[in-house]
Structure 1
Amino acid sequence: MSSVAARPSAVPPWRVVFGAVFVMSWCGNQFSPLLLLYKQEEHYSTLLVNLLLGVYVGGLAPALLLAGALSDRYGRRPVMSVGTLTALAAGAVLALGPLGVAPLFIGRLLAGVTVGIAMAVGNSWLKELSQAPHDPAADAGAGARRASTAFTLGSGLGALVAGALAQWGPRPEVLPFVLQIVVAAPFVWLVRRIPETSPGDLGGPLRRQLRVPAAGHRRFLRVVAVAAPWLFASAALAYGYLPVLLSGSTGSWGLAYATALTGLTLGVAALIQPWAKRIDSPSSARGLVVFLFLAAAGLLVMTGAQYWQSLWLGLAAAVVLGCAIGTGLVSGLLEVQRIAGPRDLAGLTGVFYTLAYAGFLTPIVLAAVTSLFGTTTLLLALVVLALLCAGAVLLAYRRHLPTGERTTTVVAQGGARSPERDGAARR
């Protein structure tokens, strides 16, 4: 497929893709504050509601790994168009939730596919539209910031609206999903008017195209892959697991409190991202180290909230974990963009998010083994594990940098070095 220009428009094309990623992220996260609703109204067990939260990784992981390669082969626009359609399908099936568990599982899988396409393809498309000739004024990190902001704002607002409607609106198991369909529907048409940025002319077998050579880069394996799962482990624990742990203290306001935790976590994550860009450094893993220490601190506060059944400590944990998520998302995406070659960007972004979303399964594991070890012990074990991962990233702090970053640093210090030799040494 050749690059096709859209009709002239007063709206920069990146804004439309930003909106598409926003509504697709809304689709993925609107379910989070409703866990207590299904637990209380449908009398589902804690393990089952956490399975419903995490099952969408089953749709998300294949989409993350396949969508990027498909968009390199056929173009960003057609794959994102499919994502807008799966967003509508997910909302429609989830609205059938009062009929039983099956529609919830299917709807969550479709929501996972939607978010997977948004992350792997939407983020790459945003990055490509956030540079010349589409946006000459954008700086080098604009694409990563816009992508992470669209995701966090969409996830946060989707959860806030769904939770508020579930707490105070009619038909709480249906209305949130109907509204999501209404919000997402215009983008089925809008994304088709955006310029194509990927030639879509790759030939050969798809299996070969699914290979992502940059995923074997030592920087990715020893820094990014170590930190990535903590991104959505932090999110799932903050607004998926913590409301259930504190349900005995929230009483009839459980849904409102779960909504507040979700909005606070993701709102802080969105607000901190401009500062997170300043923390990131192309010559070190500073951003991801800060992220892991913040995640450990947030989990420690969460442990206290659970132990003392303190709603205020729960809110404090959401703030700290939100800071962690915002910092880790921006820093992780910037690391990925520095490591990936032009043909690997969508694929490596998909691998990054696949690893990150693996952390979303953390509450399922905790719910399954809580009877053996106790909640407090398990949460403290997570704190220790996060600190160990921070230590592992520190060991590779300035090592295995992608070609160019260390060269820039050395020249700035007054020396000269061969980028070819540096690149070979770091791989």
Structure 2
Amino acid sequence: MKKLQHPLIPIGLSLLACGSIEAAATRIAFVDAFATARGNAFTATADNPSAVFYNAAGLTQLEGTQIQGNVFAISLGYEYSGATGSDDMDDTYQPVPSAFISHTFKDAPFALGFGMYAPFALGTDWGGDDTRFQLAGQTVPYEADLQYIKYHAVIAWQISDSLSLAGGLSFDDTTVDIKTNALQFDGDDQTMGYSLSILWQPSVKHSFGLNYQAKTDVTYQGKASGPAITLLTGGATNRANTKADLVYPESIVFGYSYRPNEHWNLEFNLDWTNWDHVDELIMDIDGNLGPSPTYTLNWKSTFICELGFTRYLDNGWHVSGGYTFVENAVPDTYFLPIVPDTDRHFLAVGVGRSYDHISWQITYQQAFASERTVSGNQTSDTIDGGYDLDSQAVAVSFKYSF
């Protein structure tokens, strides 16, 4: 692995002094350390600036101006074994930073928020010296780096004591780099997105949240190079202008929080992601040089189930724990090693403390998954075999209020 988790994609994101990062994954659901400790069950709680991502309507619960920084650092290692050999990805920890700021007006029922984060990321690398997927064949991608950074501005309106609504617009900047042993494609694009959310708290014991993130369509424009281009041009060049379309899906998250007393907060979230939009990736090469390289994907819509709790203690301390189940979106038939998706279970635990103007949180997360056996792959039979996941993550957050 070159860096973080699910469809075609690692990320580079600037966060204060943290600089750039990369990761190996598709949709990045874990952003805030407190939410991560709760199994990411935070949509109906949403009581810190990362609500910009989880449920912007929750910003109306905050006071004054608050700034929050997060780092989610993951070690995501996959091992492959098949009839003709084995391979593995690097499991070095990779940091995924994010930053949020919020302001709630004192004499008006409105709150504003802004966030920089990566809702999608993939950075897989099976390459190296004589590694199996790097040598497997011209059609098998062995490395993929995708950056998708969202700059998200939201406004929240507290309609009544129990109901808040929010909407937001985002500017999304994304780049991609894909490699096989015959072809490399790198491109970039920018697009716009939007979000809608609701927070309803009919009583102090019950809270309901709903968060919608719209799909975005991108057209990566860049260059394709390598022996495949040399062959298509009859040796005239090894580089050509190329574009590729890809859809990033919408998601809807419903959350319910139960608070039997001031010491406990228990929450359940159900998250649906519409991966049905992700049908194929076509690299359209300028100049009518021949058939465009095409990857059939046919991903399936999936659910994420999230369950968590927080126990609030004396002197500002709190402890949290949670469980997350992420459903596999990628069928065996069109499985690619750059997106080694599988059903995954996550357990997390975290501790934090709040003071007058600052608070912090640290979380540990462990992933569990049965070995996935791929058979009947239509891209290449060299992809068939077993894929085993070993993943841990650490998340930290720091918040300052004034």
TM-score interval (norm. to shorter)? under 0.3
Per the normalisation by structure 2, the TM-score is 0.25
Larger relative contact order, structure 1 or 2 (CA cutoff 8 Å, min sep 6): 1
Q: Which has the higher helix share?
A: 1
Q: Which has the higher strand share?
A: 2
